[in-house]
Each structure stands twice: as C-alpha cells, then as structure tokens.
C-alpha cells in the first residue's frame, strides 16, 4: 500500500522562532549553554548601539549572533575526524583557543561553516547585512582570519561586533570579567578594531550585570521579533540543518514527518494532530546536536556511557520547547520520539496511558524510518524486514500494535529520484551523484555505487557546485534539500 497522496501539513514557522531554534542547535553543537547565542545577541545589540549604529544595524548584529553557529552541524563530520569529539573539541576551542598544530586544518572547516550559515540566512530571507557577515564571520582585521584571509573593508563591521560580544560572553562566564577584558585588549587591532574593544571595556560591567539581574532581557532585545526580519519560513529548513550533522541521516527528519503524518491519517486522527505530528517530526532531532558524531557513527551497540549521553537527546529537545515560542508544543511532542510503550524508552521512561496517540505515532514512525536507513556498521533493512521487526517489537510491548499496523506502506523508504526533466537545474545523473555524496560517500564510494569512474564523479560534482553556486558538499546538500532536488 502506498503513502497517501495528500499534501504535507503546513510547516510554516515565524522566522524569529526558526532563528531561535537554529541558535539552540548551534549552542548545543558548540558545547555551550543554550542561552549563549541569545546572550551574545543582546550584548552585540548593546555594543552596536554604543558605537552609534542605527536600530536596523543593532537588530542585524543580533541576528548574526543568533545564526553565527548555524553552520556547525554542516562541518561536524570534519570536526569529528579532526578532533575526535566535535562537541567537546569545539567547547575547548572557544574556551582556550585552537591548538596550534590544528590551525592549518581549519580553512576547509571554516569554508563549510560560512557557506552553510550564509545560505541559511538567505533561505530565511535575511538581508545582505546579515547574510554577508555570516559568510565572513571568522575573518579578522589583520588578515589572518578564515577562510579567505580578508581585510577591511571587505569584512563587514558586524563581524567584529559579534566576535567581541561572543568572546566577552564566553570568557567572562568561563573565567572572569577581568580576564575577558584582558583577552579582548590583547587582540585589539588584530581580531577586532580598537574602538570596539574600547566600547566593550567601558560598558561590559553594566551589560553583564543586566544579564545577571534580568536574564529574560535576551528575549526582547532588540525587539527582533517585530524588527525588519519578520514573516515566516519553512520548518523543513531546521530539519535539514539538524540532519547535516550526520550525513547518513540526510533527509531523515523529512521522511519521519511524512510517515508520521500518513500514519496519523490512516488512524483517522484529526487534521490538527496530523499537522502537529508533521511539525514535531521535523524538529525531533534537535537534541542530537549535543552528542558527538563519534557516538552516532560507532558500529554495534553503544556502550553504557554512550547510552547515557544518547538518552539526553530528547531531554535537550524538550529544553528547546521552552525557548522557541510558536514551536513549543511541537518540540515538547518531539521529545517523546524515544519513549517506548513498555517504559523502556527515554528520557522520561513513560509507559502505557502516559503516552498519547501522537507520541506513539512519532516513536513508531521515527523507528521505522531509522530501520530503513543505512548507517555505519549496519545496512538498511528492506521495507518488509523493517515492518516485520516493528511487529515483533509491538508484540513485545515496545510500540502500539495499532500504530504499527497503520504504518503499513506509509513507512516504505522512498524510491531514488528518477531522471529530471531537461529544463531542471540538475540532470538525473547529477542528482544521483549528489545523493550519494550527500550521504557521506567519498568520490570512490559513489563511483562504485553508481558504476562510474571517480573522475566522472568529480566532473559531475564540479557541475553540481557550479549550478548550485556553492563549493562544499554540505552546502550543496542543504540547497538540494531546500529546493526539492533531493
């Protein structure tokens, strides 16, 4: 039985809430407290105002702060390979600086990050005054920044405001204000202009005191929700950014959303439930950003220590529910994705009647799609194999038997895309190559899968990057997902 051909439920979300969700994911990816980006945004807005910039410029600086780490999931595989622990490694890097022996390896990682965060801003409809600083967020006045070694005036001034605000927030929290100000002063003229450091030195005490006395002020500054970046955007963007962290999960959250909504329709659930399930499925992986890639990528059953960290994934998703405004209900439902009917799930360990029908559908749908997804050390199950395993697990009491029965063909993995029309942006073969590369395969692996030579794969990738106006696998994957090519 095929998936119902009804249109996907509405997945629009306020741009402001999408930005807050992406900031939450970014903070988790960087090993930071989940209010780091919000605090940085507030400081950046105050700093911009102190420097005499107008209201739009203050809001732009705040938005750049909130989206600064939106490219972190995109280069998580490379950070994991470089440091072993992409989350812990980045946490240490922010607090103590990058080890000198790794400095030469950062350029391609910075390129991925800047390209993806800039594309995220563009997809959100942000103005150039937000997008361009994100594309150059790691550049420095002395020309020693990444990835292009630019110098002013080719570096937007917002870059220096956000960099100083972030360093002040991190160093004053990890160490103390005196050390934070000494750190900024030592980098004046190299990492940020002297006038920025001077303004921070004069006002940091008051800013940090306000943040300590009134933590909620970060949610109102500088009235960004009603600022120049209103409107709505597609919630699928957040799902795609989340899934970039693990290439083998490319498109996973979208598939879970489609399966969950189709299952809810088969069960006769009302339209509101179908919509809530679809939206919750798209964001159910928010907490995944807090767990190092090495734990996800290891073959075989995870160790007990690894499981302790994996059990926190839905906890962090639940935490997100408290910070994302109009997504609060969906994120709360999303945090039930790993619960099981017999109480063996996590993080709450709920069972029986404590799990409503929507939570039961989400848990079964997420598991069904995961079973049909290849991952390191485990091949994907066929639809029939996955359905048989789900039925066995339902008999053992892990899943609702009625929900598993309703999944039926709705959980069948999608067929690979057919050749595109001649007028389409990418050819059919280019889509096939991009799909293999987006899943984390090397050029040689993609060539072997597709029965072509590695040089042919490289030629196709050159065409793909040129047509999509990007230079990295992660950026090409994100563009292809958001434009429906994958």
CATH number for 455: 1.10.10.10
Give the domain extent around 71.
12-217
Whether residue 263 is contained in a domain is answered as: yes
Query: Are residues 213 and 148 part of one domain?
Result: yes
Among 363, 379, 411, residue at a domain's last position: 411
Query: Are residues 347 and 244 part of one domain?
Result: yes
Query: Are residues 61 and 22 part of one domain?
Result: yes
Whether residue 474 is contained in a domain is answered as: yes
Two structure tokens written together for 401: 């038997």
The predicted structure's pLDDT at residue 2 = 35
The predicted structure's pLDDT at residue 164 = 98
| 8 A C-beta contact, residue 234 and residue 12 | yes
Query: Are residues 406 and 298 part of one domain?
Result: yes
Whether residue 4 is contained in a domain is answered as: no
Smallest CA-to-CA distance from 117 within 139, 133, 106 is with: 133
Whether residue 2 is contained in a domain is answered as: no
Query: Are residues 255 and 187 part of one domain?
Result: no
Query: Are residues 242 and 357 part of one domain?
Result: yes
Whether residue 7 is contained in a domain is answered as: no
The predicted structure's pLDDT at residue 414 = 58
Question: Looking at the 3D structure of the chain, how many domains does it have?
Answer: 3
The predicted structure's pLDDT at residue 418 = 52
The predicted structure's pLDDT at residue 416 = 52
Query: Are residues 128 and 249 part of one domain?
Result: no
The predicted structure's pLDDT at residue 3 = 38
The predicted structure's pLDDT at residue 387 = 94
Query: Are residues 437 and 399 part of one domain?
Result: no
Q: How far apart are CA 55 and CA 107, in angstroms?
A: 34
Two structure tokens written together for 321: 């529910």
Query: Are residues 477 and 379 part of one domain?
Result: no
Query: Are residues 464 and 399 part of one domain?
Result: no
The predicted structure's pLDDT at residue 231 = 86
Whether residue 419 is contained in a domain is answered as: no
What CATH number is given to the structural domain containing 145?
A: 1.10.3210.10
The predicted structure's pLDDT at residue 98 = 78
Query: Are residues 366 and 449 part of one domain?
Result: no
Residues in CB range of 346: below 8 A, 6 or more apart: 311, 314, 338, 339
Whether residue 231 is contained in a domain is answered as: no
Among 186, 217, 248, residue at a domain's last position: 217
Whether residue 225 is contained in a domain is answered as: no
The span from the first CA to the last CA of the chain, in angstroms, equals: 23
Query: Are residues 174 and 126 part of one domain?
Result: yes
Among 188, 217, 246, residue at a domain's last position: 217
Segments in the chain below pLDDT 50: 1-7, 222-223, 225-226, 419-423
The predicted structure's pLDDT at residue 411 = 66
The predicted structure's pLDDT at residue 135 = 98
């Amino acid at each position: 039985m095929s998936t119902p051909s009804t249109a996907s439920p509405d997945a629009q979300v306020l741009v402001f809430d999408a930005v807050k969700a992406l900031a939450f994911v970014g903070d988790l990816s960087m090993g930071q407290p989940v209010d780091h980006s919000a605090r940085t945004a507030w400081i950046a807005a105050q700093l911009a105002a102190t420097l005499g910039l107008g209201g739009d410029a203050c809001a732009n600086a705040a938005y750049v702060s909130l989206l600064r780490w939106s490219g972190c999931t995109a280069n998580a595989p490379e950070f994991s390979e470089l440091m072993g622990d992409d989350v812990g490694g980045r946490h240490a890097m922010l607090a103590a600086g990058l080890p000198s022996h790794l400095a030469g390896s950062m350029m391609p990682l910075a390129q991925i990050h800047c390209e993806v965060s800039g594309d995220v801003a563009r997809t959100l409809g942000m103005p150039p005054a937000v997008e361009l600083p994100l594309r150059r967020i790691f550049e420095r006045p002395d020309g020693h920044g990444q990835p292009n070694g630019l110098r002013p005036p080719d570096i937007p001034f917002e870059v220096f405001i956000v960099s100083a605000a972030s360093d002040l927030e991190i160093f004053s929290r990890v160490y103390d204000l005196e050390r934070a100000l000494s750190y900024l002063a030592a980098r004046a003229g190299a990492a940020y202009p002297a006038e920025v450091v001077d303004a921070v030195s004069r006002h940091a005490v008051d800013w940090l005191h306000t943040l300590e006395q009134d933590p909620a002020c970060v949610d109102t500054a500088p009235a960004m929700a009603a600022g120049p970046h209103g409107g709505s955007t597609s919630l699928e963007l957040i799902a795609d950014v989340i899934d970039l962290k693990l290439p083998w999960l490319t498109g996973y959250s979208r598939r879970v959303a489609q399966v969950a909504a189709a299952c809810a329709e088969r069960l006769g659930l009302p339209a509101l439930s179908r919509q809530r399930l679809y939206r919750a499925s798209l964001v159910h992986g928010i907490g995944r950003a807090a767990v190092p890639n090495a734990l996800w990528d290891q073959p075989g059953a995870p160790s007990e220590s690894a499981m302790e960290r994996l059990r926190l994934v839905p906890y962090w998703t639940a935490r997100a529910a408290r910070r994302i405004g109009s997504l609060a209900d969906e994120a709360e439902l999303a945090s039930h994705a790993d619960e099981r009917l017999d109480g063996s799930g996590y993080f709450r360990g709920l069972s029986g009647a404590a799990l409503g029908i929507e939570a039961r559908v989400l848990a079964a749908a997420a598991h069904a799609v995961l079973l049909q997804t290849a991952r390191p050390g485990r091949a994907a199950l066929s639809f029939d194999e996955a359905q048989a395993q789900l039925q066995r697990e339902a008999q053992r009491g892990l899943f609702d038997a009625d929900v598993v029965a309703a999944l039926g063909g709705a959980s069948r993995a999608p067929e690979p895309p057919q050749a595109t029309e001649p007028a389409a942006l990418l050819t059919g073969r280019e889509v096939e190559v991009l799909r293999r590369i987006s899943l984390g395969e090397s050029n040689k692996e993609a060539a072997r899968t597709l029965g072509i030579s590695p040089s042919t794969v490289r030629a196709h990738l050159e065409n793909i990057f040129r047509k999509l106006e990007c230079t990295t696998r992660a950026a090409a994957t994100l563009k292809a997902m958001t434009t429906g090519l994958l």
